[in-house]
């Protein structure tokens, strides 16, 4: 009997992406379709010449991204609907590729400033009303950081919806969900929620006036001030040196 070759000497991330690429090819070729069950783990692991534990890591990655769905006792299936980003997808990506906190912040700065500019162009009266309500609620909850955080996140989610691009909206939802999970653990230590609420009001006014350049500028200013405020709160001046909990700095 021929001995099975398992190439798990390959770095973990490469093995994971090998599984991802294989499943992608199965879907692209039509060999498996939405709702179909993947071949058994043993068969897939043998075909890819990797261990079942490495296979499961790849399947876990795709499950976090919403591409696959595991059912206890039944197997792993291709999701029947479109992939749904969630907070765990970003956590998995970060663990896989070693994201640094300052890189997370930089990505959000680039992404959300552009989203704010699009929102200023495309926001409807309904979006404007929702933003106004969230700003008012932020001011009303200055003494309750946990409640404040809820309205903070809702404000940014509304801007993402107002931008009118579902792909950008999905990316923003991924980031804000992940950041909310982290920020909720330390928001009680916030030092100046009033300054944060005032910046949100400036962003709201820029979007309400349908001024993309101003919306971009005020969003960038808000995020940079939030980063500075969080540095003071955690007494860690260099984002590159912070641990993963410091990703929460950009949720302000």
CA–CA separation, 21 and 28 (whole Å):
10
Who wins on pLDDT, 4 or 165? 165
Q: Which residues contact 1 (CB under 8 A, 6 or more apart)?
A: none
For every residue of 71-97, DSSP letters joined together read ETTTEEEE-SS-----HHHHHHHHHHH
> What backbone phi and psi angles, to 5 degrees, belong to 68?
-115, 160
DSSP E strands, 149-223 = none
**Same domain as 123, residue 59:** no
Burial (Cβ within 10 Å: 0-12, 13-18, ≥19) of residue 175: buried
What is the C-alpha separation between 224 and 4, in angstroms, rounded?
A: 54
Which of 78, 108, 131 terminates a domain? The answer is: 78
pLDDT at 93 over 80: no
Cβ neighbours around 213 below 10 Å, total? 10
- Residues 166-179: pLDDT tens digits? 889 888 877 776 67
Reported as a single tens digit per residue, the pLDDT across 205-251 is 999 999 999 999 999 999 988 777 666 655 544 334 444 443 343 33
Residues 102-157 pLDDT 10s: 777 788 899 999 999 999 999 999 999 999 999 999 999 999 888 898 889 889 98
Question: Does residue 2 belong to any structural domain of this protein?
Answer: no
Question: What whole-number distance in Å separates Cα of residue 40 and Cα of residue 35?
Answer: 15
Q: Which CATH number goes with the domain that contains 26?
A: 1.10.10.10
pLDDT at position 121 is 98
For the ranges 31-35, 182-186, 228-232, the maximum mean pLDDT occurs at: 31-35
> Which band of pLDDT confidence, cut at 50, 70 and 90, is reported for residue 75?
confident
Q: What is the pLDDT of residue 236?
A: 41
- The residue among 52, 78, 104 that closes a domain is 78
């Amino acid at each position: 009997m021929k001995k099975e070759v398992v190439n798990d000497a390959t770095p973990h991330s490469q093995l994971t992406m090998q599984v991802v690429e294989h499943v992608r090819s199965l879907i692209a070729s039509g060999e498996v379709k939405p709702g179909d069950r993947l071949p058994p783990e043993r068969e897939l692991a043998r075909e890819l010449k990797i261990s079942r534990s490495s296979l499961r890591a790849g399947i876990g990655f795709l499950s976090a991204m919403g591409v696959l769905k595991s059912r206890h006792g039944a197997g792993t299936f291709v999701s029947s609907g479109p992939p749904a980003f969630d907070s765990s997808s970003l956590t998995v990506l970060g663990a896989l590729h070693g994201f640094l906190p300052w890189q997370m912040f930089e990505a959000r700065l680039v992404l959300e400033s552009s989203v704010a500019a699009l929102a200023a162009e495309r926001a409807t009266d309904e979006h404007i009303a929702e933003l106004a309500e969230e700003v008012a609620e932020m001011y009303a909850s200055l003494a309750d950081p946990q409640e404040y955080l809820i309205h903070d996140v809702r404000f940014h989610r509304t801007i993402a919806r107002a931008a009118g691009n579902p792909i950008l909206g999905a990316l923003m939802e991924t980031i804000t969900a992940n950041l909310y999970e982290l920020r909720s653990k330390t928001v009680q230590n916030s030092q100046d929620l009033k300054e944060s609420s005032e910046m949100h009001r400036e962003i709201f006014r820029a979007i309400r006036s349908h001024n993309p350049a101003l919306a971009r500028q005020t969003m960038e200013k808000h995020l940079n001030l939030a980063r500075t405020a969080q540095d003071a709160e955690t007494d860690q001046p260099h984002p590159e040196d912070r641990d993963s909990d410091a990703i929460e700095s950009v949720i302000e």
